[in-house]
Amino acid sequence: MSEGTRDTFPRLLLQHASVRPAHPAIREKDLGIWQSWNWSQVAAEVRALACGLAELGFRRGDSLAIIGDNRPRLYWAMTAAQCLGGTPVPMYQDAVAQELEYVLQDAGIRFAIAEDQEQVDKLLECRERTPGLEHILYDDPRGLRHYTQPFIRSLDALEELGRSAREPGFIDAEIEQGKSGDVAIMLYTSGTTGKPKGVCITHEALINAARGGCGFDKLTADDEILSYLPMAWVGDNLFSYAQSLVAGFTVNCPESGETVMTDMREIGPTYYFAPPRVFENLLTQVMIRIEDAGALKRWMFHYFMDVARRCGAEILDGKPVGAGERLLYAIGNALVYGPLRNVLGMSRVRVAYTAGAAIGPDLFRFYRSIGINLKQLYGSTETCAYVCLQKDGQIKLDTVGIRAPGVEVRIADSGEVLVKSGAMFKEYYKRPDATAETIDADGYFHTGDAGFFDADGQLKIIDRAKDVGKMASGAIYAPNYIENKLKFFQHIREAVAFGHQREMVCAFINIDIGAVGNWAERRNLPYSGYTDLAQKDEVYALVRECVEKANAELALDPALCDSQVHRFLILHKELDPDDDELTRTRKVRRGFIAEKYGVLIDALYSGKQSQFIETQVKFEDGRSGKVSAELRIEEAKTFAPATAKKAA
């Protein structure tokens, strides 16, 4: 089959079923045992699902909602919908019913596939206000035996219906009608600035991005990936779905979110992808374990990590390093780095990527210094997460790499990054106004990010264009950069900086309850919960130390010296997507936070030593409540460039 005839995902599936029928396509861990399906079996499963959907009335142009964790049959359902000329619409599994309801109504969903009882219950709640939802199908039958509504049925029943009701050639004829310009998937934006928008992405665009990435990193059918990130996120669709169907490599679905690290170690993927927050959490877990280790192990870890920071990234990139440092690094690799990679499940990782938000240079260097080939890619939902890639041996910690193959990038006079390629979205669903606002007359997509190309042609992203500002002194203010400096410390989970048109930078801090809780327990420091722990004198001293170390590093950069954090407070609650403070991809909704916590921002800048706050919160069971506290406001030491290096 020529490349021209492999222009839709169903056709790619048929090609793999023909060329490598016995090669493992996907695995799933269930009850502690890995189950495997080869490409031939996957093609048969997809045919059965597609025939079943067609028998229920699914037609070309229909949309299929999919909600749940990464499960083989949910991925197969995406391809089944595409076989029939339909559009899968994956949704975030942790979204509350109200958020699902918005997507169901906006996309005009008639068919929905849910992973389990929890997701079925949310869809039933939505159905009361979205009568257009005609069919609810589920994968996991546990707890659903007594759900007798006629519009609810299992995927087992759907497949049986499909196998018995349709002629063998039916699906082949449907696939033949498909065109590369058809919409392959609709992904909803995170909604940082308003209601989420449905991003319509064609087969051609997503396949172009997948082929470009596979060629760039030489991915083959022998590679393996662990698929654990939300199916509703463009990153998972590019790496776990599109690239798998282009290269033919094996996708592995973990048993649950709690077993990801164990499953990583068992599978040993060669290809890995995670947003910065996952790498931050992994580092936090590593540091907690080190703090619990004996004195000798702690000394050995910190000694060899100093060696790694000095030369590890350079050795990984093949740059010249002295023989003495190479010898120390080799010893560190045997005693520390190798075992650490094994604990992280990354012993076999050949290429690891991070995207979705900016990663702090310190965090980036840590992983590269221990021998993990972590790279950044730059893109967005609208560009199929495919704009810039980092080439092996040419990694810079503060850039996102060079233009990806087939991509044009321009910097507007305003500093905004503009993109044009064959991997761009078609339109925002039912939003021609929004489409026209973001794609100009020359066909360039306006990313909303501010950046520039350095002397080596690598793109450096400063921040979101709307977030980049200036201090009252005229110095540049890039909040995301400051926040990443703070979040590198394992005791800080989230940070929100303020400083535009202000005389100084101030910040909200969320402590990491796991890391700080472990730290408190080892010091016999009692606490009753997050709010109590966050306001302890000892915790404020711990966080102040982290803030001041970040300030010392900021002081070393002449452009950011004025961005040191002068005052901070520790919030009485964790920022939460359910409270609309973060998006489902854990991006800070700055405008919303500034409005919701305006009284705290005023207190930071008015010189107050404390401020009372009472906040409405939503609990996991749907109830609402209030959390209140008298929050302390602390001063942090700042540094002149001459004294900063020693402090850093």
Rounded Cα distance, 440 and 396, in Å: 31
- Judgement on whether residues 473 and 373 belong to the same structural domain of the protein: no
Domain boundary among 121, 154, 178: 178
Edge to edge, what strands does the sheet with 388-389 contain?
A: 33-38, 24-30, 250-253, 224-226, 271-273, 351-354, 374-378, 388-389, 402-403
What are the tokens at 97? 């019913």
Question: Could you tell me which of 317, 344, 315 has the C-alpha nearest to residue 329?
Answer: 315
Domain range for residue 578? 469-647
Residues 167 and 304 in one domain: no
Interatomic CA distance for residues 308 and 306, integer angstroms = 5
> Which residues have a Cβ under 8 Å from the Cβ of 410 and sit 6 or more positions away?
417, 418, 419, 420, 444
Euclidean distance between the first and the last CA atom of the chain, given in angstroms as a whole number = 58
* 492 and 621 share one domain: yes
Query: Could you tell me if 371 and 475 lie in one domain?
Result: no
Q: Which amino acid is at 312?
A: G
Instruction: Give the count of beta carbons closer than 10 Å to the beta carbon of residue 414.
Output: 9
Residue 183, domain member (yes or no): no
DSSP summary character for residue 404: P
Q: Which residues of 333-352 are buried (b: 16+ CB within 10 A; e: fewer)?
A: beebbeebbebbbbbebbbb
Residue 444 lies inside a defined structural domain of this protein: no
In angstroms, rounded to a whole number, what is the distance separating the alpha carbons of residues 179 and 418?
28
pLDDT of residue 368: 95
Contact of 63 with 87, CB cutoff 8 Å: yes
Strands 63-67 and 87-91: parallel
- Three-state SS for 337-370 is HHHHHHHCCCCCCCEEEECCCCCCHHHHHHHHHC
- Tell me, yes or no, whether 481 and 349 share the same domain: no
Report the C-alpha gap between 539 and 144 in whole angstroms: 46
525 within domain boundaries: yes
Per-residue model confidence (pLDDT) at position 194: 64
pLDDT at 228: 93
Domain termination residue (choose one: 349, 378, 407): 378
The answer as to whether 576 is a domain residue is yes
CATH number at residue 106: 3.40.50.980
Residue 147 covered by a domain: yes
- What pTM was computed for the model? 0.83
The number of beta carbons lying within 10 Å of the beta carbon of residue 476 is 15
pLDDT at 1: 46
List the one residue out of 400, 372, 177 whose CA is nearest residue 279: 372
Q: Are residues 35 and 169 in the same domain?
A: yes
In a domain, 611, yes or no: yes
Q: 322, 344, 378 — which closes off a domain?
A: 378
Q: Sign of dihedral through CA atoms 10, 16, 18, 19?
A: positive
One-letter amino acid at 511 equals I
Of 547, 546, 589, the closest CA to residue 565 belongs to 547
Cβ neighbour number for residue 363 with a 10 Å cutoff: 21
User: 10-residue block means of pLDDT along the chain (648 residues)?
Assistant: 72 97 96 95 97 96 97 98 98 91 95 97 92 95 94 96 87 95 94 79 97 96 95 94 97 93 94 90 89 92 96 94 96 96 95 83 90 94 95 89 95 92 96 95 93 90 82 87 88 94 96 93 93 95 96 85 94 91 84 94 96 86 83 94 62
Task: Say if 343 falls within a structural domain.
Answer: yes
519 and 370 assigned to the same domain: no
Q: What angle do CA 396, 400, 401 make, to 5 degrees?
A: 70
Query: What is the C-alpha to C-alpha distance for residues 28 and 366, in angstroms, rounded to an integer?
Result: 31
Q: Which residue has the tokens 């900086």?
A: 497
Total structural domains in the chain? Answer: 3
**CATH number of the domain that 504 lies in?**
3.30.300.30
In the block, which residue shows the tokens 């589920």? 138
Residue 503 lies in a domain: yes
- One domain for residues 484 and 595: yes
Query: CA-CA distance, 613 to 312, in Å (whole number)?
Result: 46
Is the separation of the CB atoms in 34 and 28 below 8 Å? yes
> Are 641 and 539 part of one and the same domain?
yes
Give the per-residue pLDDT at 14: 97
